[in-house]
Amino acid sequence: DIQMTQSPSSLSGSVGDRLTITCRASHDISNYLNWYQQKPGKAPKLLIYDAYNLETGVSSRFTGSGSGSGTDYTLTIDSLQPEDVATYYCQQYENLPSFGPGTTVDLK
């Protein structure tokens, strides 16, 4: 099984800040990584797929990247907005899909 970790577990920012969330896989997942946003009581929303690709209709303030190691990935939120308050999950699909534990983002 591939284990996913995320850091930090929670993050606060002011409107306009740039925030970065890191996701690490226990094995090389070769960019087989998605990022989802989930607001309380709502369904998950796909933001980024295949590590780098922005889902249609998602704000360009969200960027996915990888370190090249195959295990370390980053979600960057540029110019944080109030509507970005949510929990963010990475998900690998190199093997049976699995999610990271999530990172909660709120406003200072």
Partner 1 sequence: QVQLEESGGGVVQPGKSLRLSCTTSGFTFGDYAMHWVRQAPGKGLEWVAVISYEGRNKYFADSVKGRFTLSRDNFNDTLYLQMNNLRLEDTAVYYCGRGTHESTGYDTYQRGDYWGQGTLVIVSS
The footprint of partner 1 (CB under 8 A) covers 1, 32, 34, 36, 38, 42-46, 49-50, 55, 87, 89, 91, 93-102
Six-digit token pair at 95?
């093997």
What is residue 61's DSSP assignment? T
Nearest to partner 1 of 59, 79 (CB atom) = 59
Helix (H) or strand (E) holding 99: strand 98-99
Six-digit token pair at 69?
């190691």
Of 106, 100, 104, 108, residue with least CA distance to 2: 100
- How far is 83 from 60, CA to CA, in rounded Å? 14
Smallest distance, Å, CB 13 to partner 1? 21
Smallest distance, Å, CB 79 to partner 1? 25
Nearest to partner 1 of 49, 62 (CB atom) = 49
Smallest distance, Å, CB 48 to partner 1? 9
Smallest distance, Å, CB 15 to partner 1? 26
Nearest to partner 1 of 5, 79 (CB atom) = 5
